[in-house]
Amino acid sequence: MKRVKLTITITVMVFVSLTAMSCKDSKKEQSNAHDKQLTESDELLPIMYRLMADMKQINEGVFIENYPMIDSAAYRITHHLEINPGQMQIIKKNLGEDIQEFVRIDMVVHDRAAAISKAAQQNKMSEILSQYNILQQSCVNCHNQFRSRLRNKLQ
């Protein structure tokens, strides 16, 4: 029985330590991402992979009720890098007038991520979940509308 209690205690302590370290690292990453945002752009695919990682972090933060983790990931989504000018020209050319919808969806993503960040700072889980649902649906809508049209053009 003592061995079980000791194992549980150690497991909890490791989990708490890792969670705390994750939050600390997330804030550092947030700062680095923000600094990079001020000076750089990137190709669409690497941006999408970073956004996916941030969405996963929000999801994880929801499950463990880690508001700083949620805030950090939402902040990075709100302030993600711009698409580099060369790829942006290709996107505009291939989407034509649909570029307006592409930009509109991107703005919804930014706005919902900012709302999630604010809700996380206020520990409002129901608001986080509501905004996350809209954010996730916007991402999926964008992929459904534009991925097949752009995938081969941006390689």
pLDDT score of 37: 47
Q: Which two tokens mark 26? A: 């997330």
Give the model confidence (pLDDT) of 7-20 as tens digits.
555 554 555 455 55
**Long-range CB contact pairs, 24-31, < 8 A, 24+:** 26/57, 26/68, 26/69, 26/72, 26/73, 27/68, 27/72, 29/72, 29/76, 30/72, 30/75, 30/76
More confidently predicted of 18 and 77: 77
Spell out the domains of the chain, with CATH numbers in brackets. 2-150 (1.20.120.10)
Give the model confidence (pLDDT) of 94-153 as tens digits.
999 999 999 999 999 999 999 999 999 999 999 999 999 999 999 999 999 999 999 888
C-beta of residue 28 within 8 angstroms of C-beta of residue 72: no
Percent of the chain exceeding pLDDT 70 equals 75
* pLDDT score of 4 more than 90: no
* Residue 41: band (very low, low, confident or very high) from pLDDT cuts 50, 70, 90: confident
> In the predicted model, what is the mean pLDDT of residues 74-87?
94
pLDDT score of 129: 98
